[in-house]
Structure formats: structure tokens, C-alpha cells
Amino acid sequence: MPFTPRPPLYPTELRLLATAPVDESQPPVGGVPQEVDAFPAALRPEAPLPAKAKVVIIGGGIMGLALAYNLAREGETDVVVLERGYLCAGASGRNGGGVRMQWGTPALVELAKRSIDLMKGFAGELGINVWLRQGGYLFLAKTKAVAQRLDRNVALHNKFGVPTRIVSPDEARDIVPGLTMKDCLAASYNPEDGVIFPWPFLWGYAQGCKKKGVRVETYTDVTGFETSNGQVRKVKTTRGDIACDTVVLAAGAWSPEVAKLVGVQLPNEPHRHEILSTEPLKPFLQPLVSVLDTGLYFSQSMRGEIVGGMGDPKEPAGLNMGSTLRFVSRFARALMEQLPQVGHVKVLRQWAGCYDVTPDNNPILGRTPGLDNLLQMSGFVGHGFMMAPAVAERMAKWMASGQSDELFTRFNLRRFAEGTLEREDMIIG
Ligand SMILES: Cc1cc2nc3c(=O)[nH]c(=O)nc-3n(C[C@H](O)[C@H](O)[C@H](O)COP(=O)(O)OP(=O)(O)OC[C@H]3O[C@@H](n4cnc5c(N)ncnc54)[C@H](O)[C@@H]3O)c2cc1C
């Protein structure tokens, strides 16, 4: 793939970017670079695909790769992962690397706790450093309603052994020197949350897959399906067809369009989320800080860069991965409101990816009504990275053993038609 240049053209100070005018009453438009929607055919491997595989996984993001690796651990190695681009082309290569146990519903607290445990052992098991740094997450609340939400979560987290606590504005300033806490009423803090570097996580799972005999096929686009008697029989690709017993749809924000190819309607919607990284600074910021009301978040990576983003309430649905001046301007202003001393720090690079948003902010997992051997694994909004190790572990066990697991009933596609939704409201970005 040719290198894709990213804005800004020159390292640019946050305080200068903050002065760019933004009309917040209008939705954002466009963005650069507009990511290509099709990868060059010249990159397509020439080797033939296998004619048959027990399990075909569509999407080589963190979900597809983690599931494939866990299936192999369970003894199922007749698995092919199909990825239309390079590894890290989707949200898994574009995210903020935040991993936290501070959630609003028991299922996500439990999954995130297990994921972080698995992350601690990742280097030992897969031989690659994912740069996990447990500096905590500090959530800030600007309104009474959000403060109450943080308060309510503490008991839930403590019940699962997660040491979240409410901290006063003064304590928050002790945790992050220089933090203004402007307009903030309350904060919650879990010192065991943290950040990781996303790319080695994918590479680690991909290498682990290959070592165990699982095939990971990049530049291979799924273009259709063959079905009969309520089963998917074949997956059609730009490199030929694969007959299969089971298909897993793990194509992230592209899942609805892939599902459409087999006549299945998913309720997920892609929404662009922009993010940036600054020049590296001496370590000064322990936790990832997030103002829950506005979706601002920022952390310091192991290499010293400030990495951060902020959702835009006016962002329309769509598979747009362009970067805008509007975002850097809004982000710079919101960051400097909480941390004025970083105004002189230069932004080196900005990019964007798509959240895969479901109506209740929870994933879609398990069997597809009407097509029993098509399994869903999408809808991870802005938190799939930190859920992947635990979800993949449970899904592989469930698939290999055939034993029931409530996760695949709770988050089944059927719930949207049945209206049994339990909304997760601890969403940032
Ligand atoms: C800016 C941003 C910040 C984020 N921050 C965090 C964070 O701090 N912590 C966290 O846990 N999560 C975060 N997330 C969310 C997280 O990145 C995602 O939830 C997660 O990566 C989803 O993984 P996935 O495997 O489902 O999707 P993806 O990584 O998008 O993978 C899906 C893959 O399917 C491929 N594909 C699509 N169509 C086809 C086809 N027809 N044939 C073959 N392959 C196909 C795509 O190329 C893609 O590689 C963030 C996301 C964004 C965008």
C-alpha cells in the first residue's frame, strides 16, 4: 500500500489549531484524505484459497483475529480469516488503545475485567509487547446527571472487585497535576484501567493464528454468499469461493453491508470518530482522562505522545474516514480548557475510524435468525478493542463445546425485534 499522508502538513501547536473557526450548528463535511474504498487488485495474493474450511471468519480486525486464535486454542484449526485490506485497516488499527473496567452494566464490567487480565499475559503467551500501562481512567462529570451515573457505577464495579472510587475535584487535581476541573462537579477513578498500543495486539493474534495453522488471508474481499435450506454453504470472495460449515461476520462497521449480501438486516450504523497524536513529551499524565458529558478523552502513550479524541454530536452516519480541521479545533479547545499548559504542544498526526454503533451500545453476538450457521460478532461501538480478548475466548468455547452461554442470548440479534434492550451509557469519544 502506498503511504497515506495525514494532516496536519506541519507539526502545529494546539493553541493555534484551537483558533480555527467552527460552525457547531452544522454537521461536519468531508475530510482528508478520503480513504480508498477498494484496495488495489495488484496486492491480492496469487495463491489459491482452500476450497473448504470448517469456519470462515469475515474481517481481520481484533474480533476476527482474536476469535480465530481462540478457536485454534480450543483445537479447531480449520479456520480461514478473510480481510479485504491489510491488518489494522479497520477500527482496530485506528483506535485510542483505552482499556477500562468502568462500565455501566454488569456484562461489560465483567468482560473488560477479564480482557485486561488476558492483556497482562499477552506478551508471555504470544511473544509480543502490547505496551499495557495501567495508569487508570479518570472520568469527569460536568452535570448532576452524569455525576450520579458515576456514583451509581462505583457499587457495581466494587461488586466485581474493580476498585473504582469517587474522587473530589481536589483529589482529581492531585492525580493529574495541572488539571483545571473547569465546570466539573465530580470524578470517578479506577487505577487499574489503562492504555495499550493497538497494532501489536492485532499482529500478536495474527502471528499466533498462523503458528497454529489458521489461515489469515489479507486483500481478500467477501463479495457474496451461497445459501440453501437456511444455511450458508459458501462464501464468495475476490479469490474464489470457500465452502464452510460456519461463517462468522466480524467486519466491524462494514458488517451491515456484508450482512446485506446474504439478505440479513443489521441495526448497526457506522459513525466517523476522529483522533490525533502529538509530539512526545516527558511522562506527566498517568490516567486516561475523559469528560463524559462531551466525549473528550486524552491519555499519554508509553512513547510520550498525547493521544486523544472527541465525538461530534453532529456527525452523520456513514463510512467516512477523512480528517477535519473542525475536529482538531474542537478537540484543542476542549483539551486546553482542562489542561491549559499543553497549548504549545504540537499535533503531529490526525486520523479517523468508524465506530460500529448499535441502538443500545452493546454488541451483536451469536446466531442469526433464519441462517443458523451465520454467527454475528459486531457492534462494538467505541470499545471493541478492550472487549475482544474476553469475548473471543467465550465465543470460541461456546462454538467448540456447543454448551450454552448467556452472553450469546443476551446480545443476540433477536433482541432488537423483541425490544429487550439494556442500554450501555458509559460511551466516550
Ligand atoms: C477513533 C477510535 C477510537 C477508539 N478507541 C477505542 C479505545 O480506546 N478502546 C477500545 O476498546 N476501542 C476503541 N475503539 C473501538 C475499537 O477500535 C473497535 O470497537 C474495534 O477495533 C472493532 O474491531 P472489529 O474487529 O469489530 O472491527 P475492525 O477492526 O473494523 O475490523 C473489521 C475488518 O473487516 C474488514 N472488512 C470489511 N468488509 C469486508 C469484506 N467485505 N470482506 C473482508 N473483510 C472486510 C475491514 O477491512 C476491517 O479490517 C475506537 C474506535 C475508533 C474509530
pLDDT of residue 39: 87
Domain range 47-93+199-267+360-418, CATH architecture: 3-Layer(bba) Sandwich (3.50)
Other beta carbons within 10 angstroms of residue 4's beta carbon come to 9
Mutate which of 65, 218, 254, 261 for ligand 1 pocket (most atoms within 8 A of beta carbon): 254
In CATH, the architecture of 12-32+134-192+269-355 is 2-Layer Sandwich (3.30)
* Sequence letter at residue 125: E
Question: Which atom belonging to ligand 1 lies closest to the Cα atom of 381?
Answer: 19
Q: Is the dihedral of CA 363, 365, 369, 373 positive or negative?
A: positive
Q: Which amino acid belongs to residue 329? A: S
Ligand 1 geometric centre to CA of 59 (Å) = 9
pLDDT, averaged in runs of 10, over the chain (429 residues): 79 98 93 78 93 98 98 98 95 96 97 98 96 96 96 97 97 97 97 96 97 97 97 97 98 98 98 97 97 96 94 95 96 98 97 97 98 98 96 98 96 94 91
Q: How far is the CA of 378 from the centre of ligand 1 (A)?
A: 9
**Cα of 92 to ligand 1 centre, how many Å?**
4
- For the chain, counts of helices (H) and of strands (E): 12, 19
Query: What is the whole-number distance in angstroms between the Cα of residue 252 and the centre of ligand 1?
Result: 5
Joined grid coordinates for residue 159: 461488586
Question: Of all protein residues, whose CA lies closest to atom 18 belonging to ligand 1?
Answer: 384
CA-based nearest residue to 251, from 348, 376, 423: 376
**Predicted pLDDT of residue 37:** 66
CA dihedral 35→37→41→44, nearest 10 degrees, is 80
Protein residue closest via CA to atom 33 of ligand 1: 59
Ligand 1 closest atom vs CA 237: 42
Outline which parts of the chain fall under CATH 3.50.50.60: 47-93+199-267+360-418
Give the H/E segment covering residue 388.
Answer: helix 384-401
Sign (positive/negative) of CA torsion 380, 382, 384, 390?
negative
Q: Which amino acids bring their CB within 6 angstroms of ligand 1?
A: 58-64, 82-85, 89-92, 94-98, 221-222, 250-254, 258, 273, 275, 309, 353-355, 378, 380, 382-386, 429
CATH 3.30.9.10 domain locations along the chain:
12-32+134-192+269-355
Side-chain-facing half-sphere of 290: CA atoms under 13 Å = 29
What are the Cα distances from residue 174, in Å, to 138, 139, 179, 180? 12, 14, 9, 11
H/E segment holding residue 207 = helix 198-211
Question: Would you state the pLDDT for residue 346?
Answer: 98
